[in-house]
């Protein structure tokens, strides 16, 4: 049972309930609740929407801003409380810190609550790219759902688990979005990542040699302050193992 939350809103709740009732009498089909100044948290968003839902059968829409980074959470809370519609924008574009991102809300509703919004998830990346280009915005690489790094893994223990069973370190299936996992070789890489990459490159190496290659890869990543390209790993393999290729097995 959800405990009662203090409803922190700029409007008087009783007055807001009256407005919804008057709107319905006047023929309104939908009433939008706008957290334009981002003053709500998920608990108060839920409580506010639940109070309105308890007094009206109108369609209720929630419009959340992201000044506190809570737009998606507030939108989901409002939907759980009875909102029938969510006001969202692609990659969260909007005034100031923006609005609840379409891709986050749509995927969270499916992933967490099993609710189908009708949004074609495999097209979210394409839509985000088009909108970002039109708006002259850059999509941060770590942007939820549509960022380039969302399905990228480097940590040795993560990659090892991912190779064995992707559910170990990844709740979202990249195939839902027409994407795939990407393993980055860097200072946090482990033997599983090196073994997998060498296999892809058809470069044989025994365990000791792979450990030597891994050590060199990590040194390179630290000195260059970034990931290590496949070509660089191949060069390191040649330096570590290539001179005695017949013994690499």
| 30-59 core/surface letters (b: 16 or more CB in 10 A; e: else) | ebebebeebebbbbbbbbbbbbbbeebebe
Residue 136 has pLDDT above 80, yes or no: yes
Which of 194, 200, 209 minimizes the C-alpha distance to 249?
A: 209
Query: Tokens representing 25?
Result: 């009498």
Residue 183 has pLDDT above 90, yes or no: no
Which of 128, 82, 93, 138 minimizes the C-alpha distance to 107?
A: 128
Q: What is the rounded average pLDDT of the residues 182-202?
A: 78
> Could you tell me which residues come within 8 angstroms of residue 65 by beta carbon, excluding any fewer than 6 positions away?
35, 36, 37, 38, 71, 94, 95, 96, 97, 98, 99
Q: What percent of the chain has pLDDT over 70?
A: 86
Beta bridge partners of 65: 99
36-89 pLDDT, tens digit per residue, is 999 999 999 999 999 999 999 999 999 999 999 999 999 999 999 999 999 999
DSSP classification of residue 92: G
Residue 34 has pLDDT above 90, yes or no: yes
pLDDT value at position 112?
95
Rounded Cα–Cα distance for residues 172 and 234 (Å): 31
**H or E element that contains 87:** strand 85-87
Rounded Cα–Cα distance for residues 62 and 33 (Å): 5
Show the domains of the chain with their CATH numbers. 13-134 (3.20.20.70), 152-247 (no CATH)
pLDDT value at position 246?
46
Q: Where are the alpha helices (DSSP H) in the chain?
A: 13-25, 42-53, 71-80, 102-113, 124-134, 156-164, 191-200, 207-224, 230-240
- pLDDT band of 154, cuts 50, 70, 90: low
Q: Which of 95-99, 225-229, 235-239 shows the lowest mean pLDDT across its residues?
A: 225-229
Q: What is the rounded average pLDDT of the residues 227-246?
A: 76
């Amino acid at each position: 049972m959800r405990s009662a939350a203090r409803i922190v809103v700029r409007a008087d709740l009783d007055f807001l309930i009256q407005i919804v009732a008057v709107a319905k009498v006047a023929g309104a089909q939908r009433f939008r609740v706008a957290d334009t100044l981002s003053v709500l948290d998920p608990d108060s968003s839920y409580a506010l929407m639940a109070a309105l839902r308890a007094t009206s059968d109108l369609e209720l829409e929630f419009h959340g801003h992201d000044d506190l980074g809570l737009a998606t959470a507030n939108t989901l809370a409002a939907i759980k409380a009875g909102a029938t519609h969510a006001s969202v924008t692609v990659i969260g574009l909007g005034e100031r810190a923006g609005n609840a991102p379409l891709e986050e809300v749509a995927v969270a509703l499916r992933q967490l609550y099993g609710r189908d919004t009708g949004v074609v998830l495999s097209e979210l990346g394409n839509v985000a790219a088009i909108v970002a280009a039109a708006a002259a915005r850059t999509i941060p690489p770590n942007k939820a759902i549509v960022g380039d790094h969302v399905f990228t893994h480097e940590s040795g223990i993560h990659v090892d688990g991912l190779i064995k069973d992707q559910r170990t370190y990844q709740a979202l299936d990249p195939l839902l979005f027409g994407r795939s996992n990407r393993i980055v070789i860097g200072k946090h890489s482990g033997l599983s990542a090196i073994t997998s990459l060498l296999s892809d490159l058809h470069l044989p190496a025994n365990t000791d040699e792979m450990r030597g290659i891994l050590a060199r890869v990590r040194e390179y990543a630290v000195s260059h302050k970034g990931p290590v390209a496949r070509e660089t790993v191949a060069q390191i393999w040649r330096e570590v193992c290539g001179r005695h290729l017949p013994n690499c097995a």
